[in-house]
């Protein structure tokens, strides 16, 4: 199945015109791509009816992290999906939506988004048996051997979806907080401002150290044909143009249906090269030949490079290396940089012709700026979209009932849990681990640590590491350890006898509402350390309906992101500086790379209010700070003072 993106009506119609088997798209609320135009329910209802006429499925993304105040609105949207449109599947991130969708009477499939970070095989049976999920979108970071191991572990009734093309995030799916921490725009809520695309300075060198090329498996997708549990090849790009959607969809359909024909393969690759995305990479797909997606020698701006601005008799001009059509969209420079400009071509310009550019600033600012073709509407594609629009206009608008299905929230936990503090260490300090303190579990298993210690599992476990982590956990259990913090809900698959254990969900589980807590209660957790992205109001509101005792990270070193990619030119444990003079550093760990700011998160001034609200565990995360890094004393309140975001 070719699964194509659509962020607006014309992109949706372009996917149909190109022969997509399914289209995924988001609503105006609760989408992981909120910067796309997205759809209203009535608008989407008509498009779904048109798609079903052509035997094309439509998946609706409701894959945002939900806060307590979001639940009523999310329930109303689910009612509309169930009673007004005929979506074939919901793509979700937040565990609350599993029970909300079923309570609403939704009978279609439920797919777990890549943001849910289902990254190791043992998680799949747990998910199918306990959540009734039908499909898992695996992380982009997996190579083909890891994908095959996930497929081998897939139980009946569950399938996998694999990204084959589109933008790569520097951070691991569901493990990036960079945009949220520095600006209050959460990537888990579809608002990422892409700080990884910006220039950073280190040792007087300024580079886009973290900006990735696009994933493009192109001819390598033939390897996926023989992996039995893969049900969809997914193309990323809900913020992309109809041209991009049409070209990428047509290319991968060609590679699937005619992949043994050399001429067809060549045509498909040419389509991908002219799809107006970023330069492509095979990424980690081939384990014997992985490609680092960061290459500072190549541009990582979207669009097809068509030349540089020169001055012709004092006027900014472009001599394009490609012909330009009337209506083409051009970008001068890169997003986030000076003299960045979007303009529309108003007449045909031949290859090596001349296009004069309107520019109000200093001419020196635009000279030598790169120019990219970012959107194009060929006559043939316009005609295909127009024909589908004509049919769409004959479809009656869908009536969407305005009602909610949220029938109450869980009862508040009323058990007696004393207020406690926990300091979590990367390695044991010289003074030793104190009672009820925590330690990140590592390759060594840290033998000799007392039985009162809390063992913190990593935020991500890759398929090839699953057996080793299972052995480490089993060794601890045999030595009498009973206290663990799990940093993905699926890590509970490592524990069989849960009644005698204290298993808390860690902050990387991204739990932010009482229904998600209730789902973890059902899975066997005994407490939850909530997402640190919450605002003041959300922190104080959450315990009122939590069925489990709650904790929070009250201070310490919180990572901007976790990544599987080491930027080749970036020095580790050496500070780098953002355009706004924010300083950070990167360090290796067993799963990849951690990036930290040079100031700590700190909510400790509000501790008494949080105790009164119902929090019972306060965690301080400590990390070894490199001697080259100067930690600053500044407010580490994250989103505390932001009422809505």
- Tens-digit pLDDT profile for residues 206-238: 999 999 999 999 999 999 999 999 999 999 999
User: Alpha-carbon distance 586 to 491, whole Å?
Assistant: 26
Task: Compute the average pLDDT of residues 415-442.
Answer: 90
Distances (CA, A) of 217 to 221, 233, 281, 294: 6, 10, 7, 16
Phi and psi at residue 275, to the nearest 5°: -80, -5
Each residue's pLDDT tens digit, 154-207? 999 999 999 999 999 999 999 999 999 998 999 999 999 999 999 999 998 999
Helix axes 96-103, 71-84, angle to 10 degrees: 40
> What is the reported pLDDT for 468?
95
Phi-psi region of 601 (alpha: psi -120 to 50; beta: other; left: phi over 0): beta
pLDDT value, residue 446? 65
Query: Burial of 380 by CB count in 10 Å (0-12 exposed, 13-18 middle, 19+ buried)?
Result: exposed
- Name the 3-class secondary structure at 419: coil
Mean pLDDT of the region 435-452: 78
Mean per-residue pLDDT of the chain: 93
**Of 247, 246, 371, 391, residue with least CA distance to 320:** 371
Residue 448 has pLDDT above 70, yes or no: no
- CA distances to 39, 240, 245 from 17, rounded to whole Å, are 19, 16, 10
Q: What is the pLDDT of residues 507-552, one digit of tens each?
A: 999 999 999 999 999 999 999 999 999 999 999 999 999 999 999 9
Q: pTM of the prediction?
A: 0.95
445: confidence class by pLDDT, cuts 50, 70, 90: low
Confidence of residue 336 (pLDDT cuts 50, 70, 90): low
What is the chain's length? 645
Q: What is the CA 182 to chain-centroid distance, rounded?
A: 17
Structure tokens at 444: 């060594």
Residue 387 in this model has a pLDDT that exceeds 90: yes
Rounded CA-CA distance 92/100 in Å is: 11
Q: How confident is the model at residue 584 (pLDDT cuts 50, 70, 90)?
A: very high
516: which strand partners? none
Identify whether the C-beta of residue 34 lies closer than 8 Å to the C-beta of residue 263. no
With a cut of 80, say whether residue 452 has pLDDT above it: no
Residue 100 has pLDDT above 60, yes or no: yes
Which pLDDT value is given to residue 518?
97
Cα-based torsion angle of the residue sequence 252, 255, 257, 260 in order, rounded to the nearest 10 degrees: 180
State mean pLDDT over 323-338: 87
Q: What is the pLDDT of residue 644?
A: 59
> Which is more confident, 570 or 358?
570
- Classify 112 as helix, strand or coil: strand
pLDDT band at 401 (very low <50, low <70, confident <90, very high): confident
Which residues are bridge partners to 4 per DSSP? 23
Q: How far is CA 202 from the centre of its chain?
A: 27
| Per-residue confidence (pLDDT) for residue 97, from 0 to 100 | 95
pLDDT digits (tens, 9 = 90+) for 113-135: 999 999 999 999 999 999 999 99
From the number of C-beta atoms within 10 Å of its C-beta (0-12, 13-18, 19+), residue 350 rates as: exposed
Instruction: Supply the pLDDT for residue 338.
Output: 67
- Collapse the DSSP code of 585 into the 3-class scheme (helix H, G, I; strand E, B; otherwise coil) and give the result: strand
3-state secondary structure of 24: strand
First to last CA, the chain: 35
- Partnered with residue 552 across adjacent β-strands are 618
What is the model's pLDDT at position 222?
96
Of the two residues 405 and 220, the one the predictor is more confident about is: 220
Rounded Cα distance between 645 and 638, Å, is: 12
Q: For residue 540, which phi and psi values (nearest 5 degrees)?
A: -75, -25
* Cβ contact 27:21 at 8 Å: no
Looking up tokens 């929090």, which residue turns up?
Answer: 615
Q: Which two tokens stand for residue 222?
A: 């033939």
Q: Which residues pair with 299 in a beta bridge?
A: none
Per-residue buried b or exposed e for 565-581, using 16+ beta carbons within 10 Å of the residue's own CB: bebeebeeeebbebeee
Residue 645, pLDDT score: 52
Mean pLDDT along residues 428-440: 87
Look at residue 300 in the predicted model and tell me its pLDDT. Answer: 84
The per-residue pLDDT for range 259-268, each reduced to its tens digit, is 999 999 999 9
- Residue 358 pLDDT: 84
Question: Is 298 or 261 the better-scoring residue by pLDDT?
Answer: 261
Please state the rounded mean pLDDT for residues 448-473: 91
Residue 214's SS3 state is: strand
pLDDT computed for residue 542 by the predictor:
97
Distance CA(493)–CA(641), nearest Å, equals: 37
Taking only the tens place, the pLDDT of each residue in 46-76 is 999 999 999 999 999 999 999 999 998 899 8
For 591-609, write each residue's pLDDT tens digit.
Answer: 899 999 999 999 999 999 9
């Amino acid at each position: 199945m070719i699964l194509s993106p659509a962020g607006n009506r014309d992109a949706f119609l372009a996917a149909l015109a190109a022969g997509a088997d399914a289209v995924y798209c988001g609503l105006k609320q609760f989408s992981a791509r909120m910067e796309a135009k997205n759809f209203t329910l009535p608008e989407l209802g008509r498009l779904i009816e048109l798609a079903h006429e052509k035997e094309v499925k439509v998946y609706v993304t409701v894959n945002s992290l939900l806060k307590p105040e979001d639940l009523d609105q999310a329930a109303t949207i689910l009612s509309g999906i169930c009673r007004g449109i005929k979506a074939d599947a919901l793509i979700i991130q937040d565990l609350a939506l599993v029970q909300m969708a079923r309570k609403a009477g939704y009978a279609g499939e439920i797919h777990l988004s890549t943001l849910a970070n289902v990254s190791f095989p043992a998680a799949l049976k747990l998910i199918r048996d306990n959540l009734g999920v039908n499909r898992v979108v695996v992380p982009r970071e997996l190579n083909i051997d890891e994908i095959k191991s996930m497929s081998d572990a897939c139980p009946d009734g569950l399938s996998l979806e694999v990204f084959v093309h589109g933008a790569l995030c520097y951070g691991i799916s569901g493990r990036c907080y960079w945009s949220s921490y520095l600006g209050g725009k959460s990537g888990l809520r579809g608002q990422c401002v892409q700080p990884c695309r910006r220039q950073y300075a280190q040792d007087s060198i300024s580079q886009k150290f973290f900006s990735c090329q696009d994933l493009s498996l192109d001819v390598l997708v033939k390897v996926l044909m023989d992996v039995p549990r893969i049900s969809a090849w997914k193309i990323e790009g809900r913020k992309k143009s109809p041209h991009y959607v049409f070209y990428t969809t047509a290319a991968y359909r060609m590679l699937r249906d005619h992949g043994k024909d050399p001429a067809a393969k060549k045509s498909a690759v040419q389509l991908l090269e002219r799809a107006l995305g970023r330069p492509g990479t095979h990424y980690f797909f081939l384990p014997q030949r992985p490609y680092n997606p960061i290459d500072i020698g190549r541009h990582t701006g979207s669009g097809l490079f068509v030349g540089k601005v020169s001055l012709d008799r004092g006027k900014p001009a472009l001599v394009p290396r490609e012909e330009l059509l009337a209506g083409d969209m051009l970008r001068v420079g890169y997003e986030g940089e000076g003299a960045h400009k979007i303009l529309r071509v108003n007449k045909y310009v031949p290859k090596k012709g001349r296009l004069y550019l309107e520019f109000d600033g200093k001419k020196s600012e635009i000279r030598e700026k790169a120019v990219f073709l970012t959107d194009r509407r060929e006559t043939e594609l316009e005609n295909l979209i127009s024909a589908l629009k004509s049919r769409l206009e004959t479809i009656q608008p869908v009536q969407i009932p305005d009602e909610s299905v949220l029938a109450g929230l869980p009862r508040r936990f009323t058990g007696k849990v004393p207020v406690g503090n926990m300091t979590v260490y990367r390695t044991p300090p010289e003074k030793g681990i104190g009672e009820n303190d925590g330690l990140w579990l590592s390759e060594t298993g840290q033998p000799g640590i007392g039985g009162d210690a809390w063992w913190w599992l990593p935020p991500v476990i890759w398929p090839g590491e699953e057996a080793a982590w299972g052995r480490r956990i089993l060794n601890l259990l045999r030595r009498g350890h009973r206290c663990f913090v799990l940093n993905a809900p699926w890590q509970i698959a490592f524990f069989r006898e849960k009644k005698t254990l204290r298993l808390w969900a860690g902050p990387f589980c991204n739990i932010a509402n009482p229904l998600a807590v209730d789902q973890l209660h059902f899975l066997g957790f005994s407490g939850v350390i909530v997402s640190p992205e919450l605002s003041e109001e959300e922190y104080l509101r959450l315990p009122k309906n939590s069925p489990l005792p709650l904790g929070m990270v009250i201070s310490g070193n919180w990572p901007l992101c976790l990544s599987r990619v080491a930027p080749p030119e970036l020095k580790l444990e050496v500070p780098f500086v953002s355009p706004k003079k924010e300083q950070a550093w990167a360090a290796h760990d067993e799963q990849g790379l951690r990036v930290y700011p040079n100031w700590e998160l700190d909510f400790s001034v509000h501790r008494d209010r949080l105790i009164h609200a119902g929090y019972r565990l306060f965690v301080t995360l400590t990390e070894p700070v490199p001697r080259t890094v100067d930690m600053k004393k500044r407010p580490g309140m994250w989103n505390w003072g932001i009422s809505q975001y």
